[in-house]
Amino acid sequence: MSKKKIIIEPDPILRQKSIYLEKVDDEIRCLLDDMLETMYSAPGIGLAAVQIGILKRLVVIDVSKEKDKKNPLLLINPEIISKSKSTSIHEEGCLSLPGYFAEIERPAECYVKYIGYNGKKKEIKASGLLSTCIQHEIDHLDGVLFIDYLSKLKRDMILKKLVKQKKELNKIVL
């Protein structure tokens, strides 16, 4: 396992659609392991492959509250089959938008089909934080970020600040 660099918005790759995987092999499993390590060390509760620059439909999630009890969920080709009409609001952040949070309203429950680490078809009914997290991560696979749900004014303000932060960061690195 190795930790990967997380891509920060604005970056055009974060706006691209990720591709479906045809098969699950050791290369994919290795990638999922790397994603998990990257997410835990960030730390974060969810990460999509595009955030480490790989346009494949892979997601890792761990919403367990106790730090010493890991409960990773690895999703290959996740797809939302149905969503509840009822909604819930969670404060969301994103490893690609460090330091920014906003309350986002999403369907409270969702039913998701995916392929698991062992290559087998699986389904999960998600509610609460897990439902929000899965929807947030699947959005990443379609080039959507949580700030897209905000008003243009708020979104532009965050983007402007991120551009400035990136410039400062580059100065230090160079």
Per CB under 5 A, residues contacting Ni ion are: 94
Minimum distance of Ni ion from residue 171's CB (angstroms) = 26
Q: Which of 62, 80, 79, 59 is nearest to 71 (CA)?
A: 62
Question: Closer to Ni ion at the Cβ: 94 or 134?
Answer: 94
Distance between CA atoms of 143 and 96, rounded to whole angstroms?
Answer: 12
Residue partners of 132: CB distance under 8 A and separation at least 6: 88, 90, 92, 104, 106
Question: Closer to Ni ion at the Cβ: 24 or 57?
Answer: 57
Residue partners of 70: CB distance under 8 A and separation at least 6: 40, 62, 64
Minimum distance of Ni ion from residue 34's CB (angstroms) = 17
Query: Tokens 């999703």 label which residue?
Result: 75
Residue with the CB atom nearest Ni ion in the bound state:
94
Minimum distance of Ni ion from residue 22's CB (angstroms) = 25
- How far is residue 24 from each of residues 73, 78, 115, measured CA to CA in Å? 16, 13, 8
Question: Closer to Ni ion at the Cβ: 95 or 108?
Answer: 95
Question: Closer to Ni ion at the Cβ: 60 or 94?
Answer: 94
Among this protein's residues, is 22 annotated catalytic? no
Minimum distance of Ni ion from residue 140's CB (angstroms) = 6
Distance between CA atoms of 138 and 31, rounded to whole angstroms?
Answer: 17
Catalytic residue among 92, 109, 137, 168: 137
Residues annotated as catalytic (active site), given as ranges: 137
